[in-house]
Amino acid sequence: MLDKTIKQKLVVIGNGMAGIRTVEALLERAPDLYDISVFGAEPYGNYNRILLSPVLAGEKTVDDIILNTEQWYADNQITLHQGETVTMIDRRTCEVVTEQGERYPYDRLLIATGSNPIVLPVPGAALPGVIGFRDIKDVEHMVEASTQHRHAVVIGGGLLGLEAANGLMKRGMKVTVVHLLDTLMERQLDPVAGGMLRKSLEERGLEFKMPAQTQTILGETHVSGVRFTDGTEVAADLVVMAVGIRPNIELAKKAGLHCERGIVVSDTMQTYDGRIYAVGECVQHRRQTYGLVAPLFDQAKVCANHLAMKGFATYDGSVVSTKLKVTGIDLFSAGDFAPGPDKEEIVLQDANRGVYKRIILRDKKIVGTVLYGDTIDGPWYFQHMRDGTDVSHMRERLVFGSAHLGDGGHGGQNSIAAMSDDAEICGCNGVCKGAIVQAISEKKLFTLDDVRAHTKASSSCGSCTGLVEQVLAFTLGGDYSAAPKVKPVCACTDHSHDDVRRVIVEQQLKSIPDVMRFMDWKTPNGCHSCRPALNYYLLATWPGEYRDDQQSRFINERVHANIQKDGTYSVVPRMWGGVTTPSELRAIADVADKFNIPTVKVTGGQRIDLLGVKKEDLPAVWADLNEAGMVSGHAYAKGLRTVKTCVGSEWCRFGTQDSTGLGIKIEKFMWGSWTPAKVKLAVSGCPRNCAESTCKDVGVICVDSGYEIHFAGAAGLHIKGTEFLTKTATEDEALEIIVALTQLYREQGWYLERMYKWCDRVGFDNIHKQVVDDVTNRKALFERFAYSQQFSQSDPWAARARRGVDRNEFTPMAELELA
């Protein structure tokens, strides 16, 4: 047992982002376990090193990028040894020794010493005026030089070198970038994109000397120029070496820890001495070293987990992407894009427009991406790359990106670099680019979820997610969303939707508390995200057996009407196939008059919406509508909504089949069914497609010889045409396939995942096989749907209007007269 009064001692060497992120994560998990002390060589609190470039460019100040103030260390009872350098680790006595000869004992040691800039071994490298680009001191040096001198040379045409050059140029210096190879950023870019980048940087005023190898740095008491191996010289008052970084492993090496390029660590971030952990740029994990922030954060999480003695997490390496933080240049790169015999490439190049996209595939999967000029789809490609999605089905459209281009709400913008600070990015919540950038800097945000929580940007409809990710990447220099491959349902659990669905079936779990107990939910009764999901999964898995939990349903599904901004509701009666009658219309008019319903509106799904109904009036409104033969239209449901139709062969001179009749038949069969997200159908009587079938979840196009069935379309947040599933000769066959398809979606879809996203995830071929090719399976799916319908096809309005179900819901509990 641990004695509370004598805590274990954790010593952290390195006061940088990796070390402190680990400490933060540790404090979240086990706040009282350790007595923590941190040694940092720099005289600052922890700061955001990736934002040094904007500081250099004069877009931010040093204060802007401090992540943890001294107060933070004090608040968390962390002893900060600022400016004290650890010179030795005594593993025998478990102590660290500082420059001053002080010894501090540890029970656990965390090495987070980061990396050092590589200094080229050329004559003159030690002259005053020759620096690296690594810390605040270097930036201060450069800023000062820019006020006194004119000529700067940056050696290194990689990410860091270009950002340094851009910053110095913005500070008024004349800058020459020297690069050993003939492609800029060759680790991230291919020659074409590298050339485009060079051209646009030249237009901004940078000069390049490449390929060129530095031979000598010239100068007597201060640098005065650079000479190259070809004999040419360039004058310089400041030389910045940005040729790369080298893991800082001196200390670890001296202590006898196994090191190669970096300190070698296991999947639990432990070195060969189990008491000693290491994270960040100083480590080597599975032969890889990392110089970007996202992997450090992944490592920090795993390391903190172990330090907190919850040792189950492992670090499996990271896939990283890169952005260049130079204002006005859009560039995105991720993965492996070196040509190879087993790789295929898809390239789009439009030099005049300044757009270049290259996608590298191996084995039907994206393994690398280089984007220049138009990077809106960077995160989308990156997601597919990390997920290892089979992209063969979307191959022909792949290079054009996701449906983002068709998305509305952000003025058709698809490049954030050119956007001004007051440009609106999130049209739902009115969030501008400037506000997002400010929140990222001021509130020290790193992930998409952070940004959503703090600014609300992309937290409603999500169509601007790509843009917000870009702002994030642009501000921070990489993709920090780093969403884990398997997304948990919500913060209440680590389990994914698939896990939950599988376990419900395997373990025969039949209530929400059972699922939560069995799957170790972290909260006592979930949250507004997971409870409705679990309720749906149980309902879809155990039809007739599971009792629907009303308190786990969103209000609209609980009261069978749509809540409006003022707390009133809207009521939409079903109109089968969009067909109505004079008596129904009269009844609707009467209801609107009787209950003073302020707005009557025709919907996009071919029915009529009564808006502004008071909650307590709902049962009476429903009773009157029921009286005229109308039932709930489920316009509020994650379930079957409408079947839109055109008039078809009954009236239309072009109609090939009775599309209205088929639509009604489908709607009568499928109404009342619950699905992962809403399902909208349409039936068009000919290929003129007046019912707009090709942007629905399921759409039928009648042709002379039968019925084409299309599915997985969308016309909301995303615009997506449907996929052609199959063609049938008869109505009955069409119905069977549509029902089987919907049932498969009900069984596989994640809660709130629309059909087109489900199709994207599980693959068209897979669905086609189960619904079209395998007839036995299709019939079984159909039967399961039909079975569950006997429990769901009763009008919820009638139950409430006539039989008093949920009466409490619609009346106040009490009315107090007194003030």
CB-based burial, 664-693: b 16+ in 10 Å, e otherwise: bbbbebbbbbbbbbbbbbbbbbbeebbbbb
In angstroms, rounded to a whole number, what is the distance separating the alpha carbons of residues 800 and 732?
Answer: 34
Cβ count within 10 A of residue 290: 22
Exactly one of 551, 704, 776, 803 binds another protein (CB under 8 A); that residue is 551
Cβ count within 10 A of residue 760: 19
Q: Of 422 and 566, which has the nearer Cβ to another protein?
A: 566
User: What element of type H or E holds 682?
Assistant: strand 679-684
User: What's the chain's Rg over C-alpha atoms?
Assistant: 32
Exactly one of 285, 357, 433, 531 binds another protein (CB under 8 A); that residue is 531
Task: Provide the minimum distance between the beta carbon of 637 and another protein in the complex, in angstroms, as a whole number.
Answer: 15
Task: Provide the minimum distance between the beta carbon of 473 and another protein in the complex, in angstroms, as a whole number.
Answer: 21
Cα 405 to Cα 198, 351, 374, 410, 461, distances in angstroms: 27, 20, 11, 10, 15
Cβ count within 10 A of residue 626: 19
- Which residue reads 């019925």 in tokens? 707
Q: Judged by CB under 8 A, does residue 523 bind another protein?
A: yes
Task: Provide the minimum distance between the beta carbon of 444 and another protein in the complex, in angstroms, as a whole number.
Answer: 12
| Structural tokens at position 693 | 């079938």
8 A C-beta contact, residue 230 and residue 212: yes
Task: Provide the minimum distance between the beta carbon of 677 and another protein in the complex, in angstroms, as a whole number.
Answer: 17
Task: Provide the minimum distance between the beta carbon of 453 and another protein in the complex, in angstroms, as a whole number.
Answer: 5
Exactly one of 220, 342, 396, 815 binds another protein (CB under 8 A); that residue is 815
Task: Provide the minimum distance between the beta carbon of 511 and another protein in the complex, in angstroms, as a whole number.
Answer: 13
Residues 719-738, mask of contacts with another protein (x by CB under 8 A): --------------------
Cα 319 to Cα 296, 314, 379, distances in angstroms: 12, 15, 12
In sequence order, the 6+-apart residues with CB closer than 8 A to the CB of 796 are 560, 632, 805
3-state SS assignment for residue 722: coil
In angstroms, rounded to a whole number, what is the distance separating the alpha carbons of residues 790 and 217?
Answer: 85
- Piece of the chain touching another protein by CB under 8 A; list 301-309, 408-416, 546-554, 651-659: 546-554
Task: Provide the minimum distance between the beta carbon of 530 and another protein in the complex, in angstroms, as a whole number.
Answer: 9
Q: Judged by CB under 8 A, does residue 818 bind another protein?
A: yes
- Piece of the chain touching another protein by CB under 8 A; list 407-415, 476-484, 553-561, 641-649: 553-561
Q: What angle do CA 51, 55, 61 make, to 5 degrees?
A: 105
Q: Of 188 and 455, which has the nearer Cβ to another protein?
A: 455
In sequence order, the 6+-apart residues with CB closer than 8 A to the CB of 543 are 787, 788, 791, 792
In angstroms, rounded to a whole number, what is the distance separating the alpha carbons of residues 554 and 551?
Answer: 8
Exactly one of 231, 341, 412, 524 binds another protein (CB under 8 A); that residue is 524
In angstroms, rounded to a whole number, what is the distance separating the alpha carbons of residues 326 and 417?
Answer: 9
Task: Provide the minimum distance between the beta carbon of 551 and another protein in the complex, in angstroms, as a whole number.
Answer: 4
Q: Which amino acid is at 466?
A: G
Nearest Cα neighbor of 676 from 738, 750, 744, 763 is 750
Pairing mode, strands 608-613 and 599-602: antiparallel
Q: Of 4 and 528, which has the nearer Cβ to another protein?
A: 528
Cα 138 to Cα 57, 148, 239, distances in angstroms: 13, 16, 11
Q: How far apart are the first and last CA of the chain?
A: 58
In angstroms, rounded to a whole number, what is the distance separating the alpha carbons of residues 546 and 530?
Answer: 17
8 A C-beta contact, residue 708 and residue 737: no
8 A C-beta contact, residue 603 and residue 609: yes
Exactly one of 63, 396, 704, 817 binds another protein (CB under 8 A); that residue is 817
Q: Of 563 and 652, which has the nearer Cβ to another protein?
A: 563
Q: Judged by CB under 8 A, does residue 438 bind another protein?
A: no
Q: Judged by CB under 8 A, does residue 619 bind another protein?
A: no
Q: Of 534 and 759, which has the nearer Cβ to another protein?
A: 534
Q: Of 266 and 438, which has the nearer Cβ to another protein?
A: 438
Q: Of 156 and 526, which has the nearer Cβ to another protein?
A: 526
- Piece of the chain touching another protein by CB under 8 A; list 518-526, 667-675, 714-722, 755-763: 518-526
- Piece of the chain touching another protein by CB under 8 A; list 392-400, 549-557, 660-668, 693-701: 549-557
- Piece of the chain touching another protein by CB under 8 A; list 144-152, 413-421, 523-531, 661-669: 523-531
Q: For residues 563-602, which are near another protein according to CB under 8 A?
A: 563, 565, 567
Q: Of 621 and 735, which has the nearer Cβ to another protein?
A: 621
Exactly one of 116, 268, 349, 460 binds another protein (CB under 8 A); that residue is 460
- Piece of the chain touching another protein by CB under 8 A; list 27-35, 159-167, 548-556, 700-708: 548-556
Task: Provide the minimum distance between the beta carbon of 801 and another protein in the complex, in angstroms, as a whole number.
Answer: 19
Phi/psi of residue 448, nearest 5 degrees:
-55, -40
In angstroms, rounded to a whole number, what is the distance separating the alpha carbons of residues 273 and 295?
Answer: 22
| Structural tokens at position 392 | 């063969």
8 A C-beta contact, residue 216 and residue 123: yes
- Piece of the chain touching another protein by CB under 8 A; list 15-23, 283-291, 392-400, 524-532: 524-532
Q: Judged by CB under 8 A, does residue 808 bind another protein?
A: yes
Q: Of 102 and 449, which has the nearer Cβ to another protein?
A: 449
- Piece of the chain touching another protein by CB under 8 A; list 28-36, 157-165, 558-566, 686-694: 558-566
Task: Provide the minimum distance between the beta carbon of 552 and another protein in the complex, in angstroms, as a whole number.
Answer: 7
Q: Of 427 and 763, which has the nearer Cβ to another protein?
A: 427
- Piece of the chain touching another protein by CB under 8 A; list 125-133, 206-214, 562-570, 781-789: 562-570
- Which residue reads 């319908």 in tokens? 789
Task: Provide the minimum distance between the beta carbon of 118 and another protein in the complex, in angstroms, as a whole number.
Answer: 40
Q: Judged by CB under 8 A, does residue 203 bind another protein?
A: no
Q: For residues 110-139, which are near another protein according to CB under 8 A?
A: none
Nearest Cα neighbor of 234 from 214, 258, 250, 249 is 214
Q: Of 482 and 492, which has the nearer Cβ to another protein?
A: 492
User: Is the dihedral angle over the CA atoms 430, 432, 436, 438 positive or is it negative?
Assistant: negative
- Residue count at the site for another protein (CB under 8 A)? 30
Q: Judged by CB under 8 A, does residue 660 bind another protein?
A: no
Task: Provide the minimum distance between the beta carbon of 808 and another protein in the complex, in angstroms, as a whole number.
Answer: 6
Q: Judged by CB under 8 A, does residue 453 bind another protein?
A: yes
Cα 379 versus chain centre, distance: 8
Exactly one of 401, 526, 699, 796 binds another protein (CB under 8 A); that residue is 526
Task: Provide the minimum distance between the beta carbon of 776 and another protein in the complex, in angstroms, as a whole number.
Answer: 41
Q: Of 288 and 564, which has the nearer Cβ to another protein?
A: 564
Q: Judged by CB under 8 A, does residue 520 bind another protein?
A: no
Q: Judged by CB under 8 A, does residue 749 bind another protein?
A: no
Cα 348 versus chain centre, distance: 25
Nearest Cα neighbor of 37 from 81, 82, 86 is 81
Q: Of 172 and 804, which has the nearer Cβ to another protein?
A: 804
Exactly one of 454, 614, 761, 768 binds another protein (CB under 8 A); that residue is 454
Cα 594 to Cα 591, 613, 706, 796, distances in angstroms: 5, 11, 46, 22
Dihedral in degrees, nearest 10, Cα atoms 668, 669, 673, 679: -80
Q: Of 565 and 653, which has the nearer Cβ to another protein?
A: 565
Q: Judged by CB under 8 A, does residue 550 bind another protein?
A: yes
Chain residues in the site for another protein (CB under 8 A) = 443, 453-454, 460, 523-528, 531-532, 550-552, 554-555, 559, 563, 565, 567, 808, 812-819
